[in-house]
Amino acid sequence: MIQPLQIQKPLFNYMKKFFFLLSGFVIMIAGCVNKGDSDWRHYGGNNAGNRYSSLKDINADNVKNLKIVWTYNTAEDSAHNKIGRNIEIQCQPIVVNDVLYGTTPLLKLFAVNATTGKELWKFDPFEGQEPKPHPSRGVAYWESANDKRILYTAGSFLYAINALTGGLIKEFGNGGMVDLHEGLGHDSLGHSVTDLSVKATSPGIVYKDILIIGSSVSERGDAAPGYIRGFNTRTGKLIWVFHTIPLPGEAGHETWPKDAYKIFGGANSWAGMVLDEKRGAVYFGTGSPSSDFYGGDRAGQNLFANCILSLDASTGKMNWYFQTIHHDLWDRDMACPPNLTTVKHDGIMVDVVVQATKDGLIYVLDRDKGTSLFPVEERAVPTAGLPGEKPWPVQKFPMKPAPLSRQVLTDDEITNLSPEANAFVKKRFIATKSGDKFMPPSLEGSLFFAIGGGAEWGGNAIDPSGILYQNVNEMVWDISMTDLNSLNSELMSQGKKLYLTNCAACHGVDKKGTSQEYPSLINIADRSDSKQLHAVIKNGRGRMPSFQHISERDKSALVGFLLNKESKPLAKNIADSSLVNDKKDIFPYTPPYILKSGLNRFFDPGGYPAIKPPWGTLNAIDLNTGEYLWKVPLGEFPELTKKGIPVTGTESYGGPIVTAGDLIFIAATKDERMRAFDKKTGKIVWEYQLPAGGFATPITYRSGGKQYIVIAAGGVKNGHKPGGNYIAFALP
């Protein structure tokens, strides 16, 4: 008979200690790769928006071995979707507990296995309806015990979705959804915004049981106010509202005309937010007030438009503000989320909020006080504007860090790509205004940087040492204004008047358009019928807001004008239009001056930017000192490289991430490539030709014991070929 093994007591005690130490070691190792490090739980990676990962399985030595390991096809190209046209993907997905959540081009929410890419569920917010696609850059996650929710927006609604099943959380709001118009109007004043365009292109951020969210609104006279709101994550109930256009008695009201809050909209936060949980503070930037490019009827500094703001996340009470542009006339929204980090300044560690801007500036502010760590000067600027305009006499000029991009166009900066290109650009340069970034818009035209320039919505990345990595656009825009009254010299139809007051600012007075984002409408009858145009005008599409506030009669008149089916002219001038608000005390507002030919990038005859390269860069800046570590071109035009022209860089839309593996990953460029850069040198160490443009920000996470890099390759932007895939890379 075999006797049981007898263990001596001293040996038994030794073995207990060994296994105790071993288990502690296992726990310690597990702590080094805990779910917080493995997941990508928030838009921007974490609440601070750092776009940083401590994962380093993929590093500068082995990144060359990256391969595609799975692809998730949304199956929503023009051949398969309900609207017959392609929509890009701008979504930076999140990963929670080995599940990846993202949105499709038509704004369906999906969940896939983060290891395999296999679909787990999909939710369609427009089931049985006409889809209302618009940019969607991410989603938010909230959980309490077994209650796990995805909070995201589609159209004019905020949805709460069960993260495990994909079903609506019926007890949230009205059957699982909340109208994004809630809290924006002032019913006691007869002031309704129900029919104005309100959506959210960036996700909100969660603090305890509160979802804090901004909005995307029109940039013209029909803009809804861009108030910041906090909703209860369990019930959908509105908890607080911060008025970015202050009401009577509120701080900042004196920086506007008395009744401005009844008339003007905008001053919205559309780019996303970050959160300091310890301080209970939310940080974000706001955009310009409506309408862009003319502010004669909103004289004043216009707080809290164009501000970096800190609010108490529980109450919405303002902690501080820092205005970057006074009385904005140039569409200089805060186009990317801020970023929270800690830097060493004058020998002291300081918690800061970092905000990059469309005009290529970087503000580094004390997180508690809102004061700049580096010197900022206020200088006198031009004040001769359009009739009735009252430009603010001074503007801010931060001394450090140096601007990310050029600030003004000079003769020396005109392209030298060829003698023909130089002559073409110089002719326009001579005929327009240039030379000061704060010259007010004019009838003769102005050449500006910073509209769709500088730092865009993709954001930036910061590693724990305080180094910021930012991709930057260098692009000149050609902007001319026109006086609506000057268009009254002949009889015009109701449809034409409606077009001039609603559509011309983007598509041009002549309907020629400027880009894929603002296409030509001259031959719209060749690709759309009356029913389709009615739906687009009512619901909006892409960057175009909805125009629900236009009556059905006026929609029909506008469609008739677009399809060239209108009858005789009906009135002499714009003022006879039923759209114009004669009371001047409620939305919508009709500015007397609008863009003449829409928003125009300034290209040479070959389609290249009108300035000398670089046209796009990736930058590394030490925020401890404010000094640049390196700057390299980002993206290329292969046909120019083949001619021996040094890499020029391109426009980029989407942003970078940085990892503990000393790598920066970014797609975003016109050449449709995904790249990895050595974060220490700026050298490209890996690149991959995507099947379509990756105009989104990538993510990284660990699942199934392996580190992944994922990018949404949605294409389409600015004439690129379409795509609809999420692509995952990993080491073999």
State the pLDDT at residue 510.
77
C-alpha distances out from residue 295 to 129, 292, 389, 485, 656, Å: 38, 8, 6, 17, 35
Q: What is the 3-state secondary structure (H, E, C) of 399-439?
A: CCCCCCCCCCCCHHHECCCCHHHHHHHHHHHHHCECCCCCC
State the pLDDT at residue 176.
98
pLDDT above 90: percentage of residues in the chain: 71
pLDDT above 70: percentage of residues in the chain: 86
Q: Which of 110, 116, 93 is nearest to 39 (CA)?
A: 93
State the pLDDT at residue 652.
96
Contact 576, 500 (CB under 8 A): no
For the chain, give percent helix, strand, coil, nearest 5: 15, 30, 55
Contact 625, 398 (CB under 8 A): no
* Euclidean distance between CA atoms 550 and 678, whole angstroms: 53
State the pLDDT at residue 85.
67
How many other C-beta atoms lie within 10 A of the C-beta of residue 691? Answer: 16
* Euclidean distance between CA atoms 317 and 325, whole angstroms: 22
CA atoms within 13 A on the CB side of 288: 22
Q: What is the mean pLDDT of residues 84-90?
A: 80
What is the β-pairing status of strands 627-633 and 616-622?
A: antiparallel
pLDDT exceeds 50 at position 529: yes
pLDDT exceeds 70 at position 515: no
Local confidence band at 667 (pLDDT 50, 70, 90 cut-offs): very high
What is the β-pairing status of strands 706-715 and 339-345?
A: unpaired
pLDDT exceeds 60 at position 721: yes
* Euclidean distance between CA atoms 224 and 181, whole angstroms: 9
> Which are the contacts of 713, defined by CB distance < 8 A and separation ≥ 6?
89, 667, 672, 690, 691, 692, 693, 694, 723, 725, 726, 727
Q: Both tokens of residue 156?
A: 């004019």
Q: Both tokens of residue 381?
A: 């600027």
Local confidence band at 555 (pLDDT 50, 70, 90 cut-offs): confident
* Euclidean distance between CA atoms 499 and 519, whole angstroms: 14
55-59, 590-594, 622-626, 717-721, range with the lowest pLDDT: 717-721
pLDDT tens-place string over residues 90-125? 999 999 999 999 999 999 999 999 999 999 999 999
pLDDT tens-place string over residues 241-297? 999 999 999 999 999 999 999 999 999 999 999 999 999 999 999 999 998 999 999
125-139, 152-166, 555-569, range with the lowest pLDDT: 555-569
> Which are the contacts of 366, defined by CB distance < 8 A and separation ≥ 6?
350, 351, 352, 372, 373
Per the model's pLDDT, the better-predicted residue between 718 and 294 turns out to be 294
In CATH, what class is 481-596?
mainly alpha
pLDDT exceeds 60 at position 653: yes
> Which are the contacts of 80, defined by CB distance < 8 A and separation ≥ 6?
none
Contact 425, 17 (CB under 8 A): no
pLDDT exceeds 80 at position 135: yes
Q: What is the mean pLDDT of residues 31-39?
A: 62
pLDDT exceeds 70 at position 15: no
Per the model's pLDDT, the better-predicted residue between 175 and 551 turns out to be 175
Contact 41, 25 (CB under 8 A): no
Q: Both tokens of residue 481?
A: 């204004």
Q: Sign of the CA dihedral 437, 413, 680, 43?
A: positive
Local confidence band at 7 (pLDDT 50, 70, 90 cut-offs): very low
Local confidence band at 207 (pLDDT 50, 70, 90 cut-offs): very high
pLDDT exceeds 60 at position 32: no
Contact 456, 405 (CB under 8 A): no
How many other C-beta atoms lie within 10 A of the C-beta of residue 250? Answer: 15
Q: What is the mean pLDDT of residues 422-436?
A: 93
pLDDT exceeds 60 at position 229: yes
Q: What is the 3-state secondary structure (H, E, C) of 41-84?
A: CECCECCCCCCEECCCCCCCCCHHHCEEEEEEECCCCCCCCCCC
* Euclidean distance between CA atoms 54 and 444, whole angstroms: 52
State the pLDDT at residue 31.
34
Q: Both tokens of residue 682?
A: 């700026």
Per the model's pLDDT, the better-predicted residue between 63 and 128 turns out to be 63
State the pLDDT at residue 545.
67
**Residues forming a β-bridge with 266:** 225, 289
Contact 456, 653 (CB under 8 A): yes
> What one-letter code names the amino acid at 494?
Q
State the pLDDT at residue 560.
77
pLDDT exceeds 80 at position 579: no
pLDDT exceeds 90 at position 351: yes
pLDDT tens-place string over residues 442-451? 999 999 998 8
State the pLDDT at residue 165.
98
Q: What is the DSSP letter of 325?
A: S
pLDDT exceeds 80 at position 349: yes
Burial environment of residue 553 by CB neighbours within 10 A (0 to 12, 13 to 18, 19 or more): exposed
pLDDT exceeds 90 at position 11: no
| pLDDT averaged over every residue in the chain | 88
pLDDT exceeds 50 at position 22: no
pLDDT tens-place string over residues 381-417? 999 999 999 999 999 999 999 999 999 999 999 999 9
DSSP H or E run through 536: helix 530-539
What is the β-pairing status of strands 593-595 and 481-483?
A: antiparallel
In this structure, the chain runs to a length of: 732
pLDDT tens-place string over residues 698-714? 999 999 999 999 999 99
- pTM of this prediction? 0.89
Q: What is the 3-state secondary structure (H, E, C) of 599-613?
A: CEECECCCCCECECC
**Can you list the positions of beta strands (E) in 66-188?**
67-73, 94-96, 99-103, 109-113, 119-123, 140-144, 147-154, 157-162, 177-179
Which residue, chain included where needed, has tokens 């426009």?
A: 651
